[in-house]
């Protein structure tokens, strides 16, 4: 049985990243509605198999995060998806948080899922999971986020990470600073820095092994309703400033979420972040854990029609190849 660090190294191998295919039924339904796709377990299974069975996809993917429904489903070969992926050299991860609940009077949220977590982790291991993910949502607004909400989300995330490591599973901690709002790039940098600082303070406080986890982070970006245009170089500089201040050097890797960016934006900005990080000898391996930025062009091409599978898979191959190149700073648009 390998160590947490063995799993981390396998996930952070050069030229590879992680596909987030852990959308809840409700999130998947919204994406299916966009292209008129039937919202059934069978269609969700077919969609995930299209992605997982794309030829040579393991050249650019080291891991795939699944949802509870998906890890219990089988490929058309009658293999459980975790086994199907393992045979292709891809590690299986599992989303273990259970949505959010209201916090305070300012419209903020904290993530649920600690109740019964050790038992769920033990079951997911028997189903083939090697790593886990927990997401918190941080909103930027007038007087938001509050210190109290940041701290409560960090405490819960730390408790999750400790439980995951105790079970022998690598935790991916994802304190996502949302893109929604009219805030500036500077404000995003400030909130991202504080969010990460509080998160790592709590992780260290309860003895989480920082060398046995991965950070999943948003980029520093102006709010999508702000009307502010920024260059990839500006995004990279602001994002890396936050990491330099708040992410300990012991953390082996940072993977980015795409967080509502277009496929092109997410790829170009990742490429520039990696380029700047290499110039400054940043201590972390920086790569991707995208969902929509990898999937949306593919979903549009497929549209729930099996006759479109090969064409959709060719698009997915290209998206993975481009994002893989960006994870090394070698992407050319």
Residues belonging to the active site: 174, 216
Letter string b/e over residues 118-138, b meaning 16 or more CB atoms within 10 A of that residue's CB: eebbeebeebbbbbbbbbbbb
Instruction: Say if CB 138 and CB 102 are below 8 A apart.
Output: no
Distance of CA 186 to the CA centre of its chain: 23
CA angle, corner 131, sides to 130 and 135, nearest 5? 160
Q: Which of 246, 148, 151 is nearest to 196 (CA)?
A: 246
Residue 171 CA to residue 176 CA, distance in Å, equals 15
In whole angstroms, give the CA distance from residue 99 to residue 110: 9
- Count Cβ neighbours within 10 Å for each residue of 74-99 and write b for 16 or more, e otherwise: ebeeeebbbebbeeeebbbbbbbbbe
Cβ atoms 37, 300 nearer than 8 A: no
Strand residues in 125-248 grouped as ranges (E): 131-138, 170-177, 214-217
């Amino acid at each position: 049985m390998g160590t947490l660090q063995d799993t981390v190294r396998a996930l952070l191998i050069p030229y590879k990243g992680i596909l987030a295919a852990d959308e809840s039924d409700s999130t998947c339904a919204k994406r299916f509605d966009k292209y008129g796709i039937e919202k059934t377990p069978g269609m969700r299974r077919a969609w995930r198999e299209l992605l997982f069975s794309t030829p040579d996809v393991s050249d650019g993917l080291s891991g795939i995060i699944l949802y509870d429904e998906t890890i219990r489903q089988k490929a058309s070969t009658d293999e459980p998806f975790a086994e199907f992926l393992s045979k292709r050299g891809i590690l299986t991860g599992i989303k273990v948080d259970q949505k959010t609940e209201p916090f305070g009077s300012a419209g903020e949220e904290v993530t649920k899922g600690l109740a019964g977590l050790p038992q769920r982790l033990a079951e997911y291991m028997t189903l083939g999971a090697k790593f886990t993910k927990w997401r918190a949502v941080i909103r930027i607004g007038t007087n938001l986020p509050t210190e109290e909400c940041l701290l409560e989300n960090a405490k819960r995330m730390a408790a999750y990470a400790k439980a995951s490591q105790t079970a022998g599973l690598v935790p991916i901690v994802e304190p996502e600073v949302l893109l929604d709002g009219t805030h500036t790039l500077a404000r995003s940098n400030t909130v991202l820095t504080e969010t990460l600082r509080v998160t790592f303070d709590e992780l260290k406080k309860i003895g989480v092994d920082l060398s046995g986890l991965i950070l999943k982070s948003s980029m520093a970006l102006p709010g999508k309703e702000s009307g502010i245009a920024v260059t990839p170089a500006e995004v990279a500089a602001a994002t890396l400033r936050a990491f330099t201040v708040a992410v300990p050097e012991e953390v082996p890797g940072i993977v980015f979420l795409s967080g509502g960016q277009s496929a092109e934006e997410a790829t170009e900005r990742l490429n520039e972040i990696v380029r700047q990080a290499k110039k400054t000898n940043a201590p972390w391996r920086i790569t991707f854990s995208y969902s929509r930025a990898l999937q949306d062009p593919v979903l549009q091409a497929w549209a729930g029609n099996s006759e479109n599978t090969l064409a959709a898979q060719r698009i997915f191959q290209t998206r993975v190849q481009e994002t893989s190149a960006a994870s090394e700073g070698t992407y050319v648009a």
